[in-house]
Amino acid sequence: MMAGRVIGVCVATQKDPRLAGRKLLVVEPIRSNGTAAGKPAIAVDLVGAGAGETVLLAKSRDASLAAADAPIDLAIIGIADALVTPPHRPMDPAERGFRSC
């Protein structure tokens, strides 16, 4: 699972019948701090996301399972209210189980 931001809409005049009624959205993968983390991609919207929203994405087989085995590679499976990560601090080697000689 990864996070992304909805940056656009994809209009398809023809698609697999199992995707009938589903929106296709353009999403940009993001890091926890909100910066871009990769190239934009097309995702099937399973939750009703909108432009500019931060979303949770499932990839590959997980995406297909979330959409009842529809032939998809990326699915929007949630809308995130916030992405919160603890501040980074270097780990003390003693915490990893290493001992000094």
Q: Where along the chain do its domains lie?
A: 2-96
Mean of pLDDT values over 2-23: 90
Using CA atoms, how far apart are residues 36 and 23, in angstroms rounded to an integer? 22
Tokens of 78: 């949630």
> How many Å apart are CA 27 and CA 25, to the nearest integer?
6
Give pLDDT, residue 20: 85
The confidence score (pLDDT) of residue 84 equals: 80
Which contiguous run of DSSP H or E holds residue 10?
A: strand 2-10
Q: Is the pLDDT of residue 95 over 90?
A: no
Q: What is the pLDDT of residues 71-93, one digit of tens each?
A: 888 999 999 988 887 777 666 66
What pLDDT is recorded for position 33? 83
Beta carbons within 8 Å of 84's beta carbon, 6+ residues apart: 32
> Architecture of domain 2-96 in CATH?
Beta Barrel (2.40)
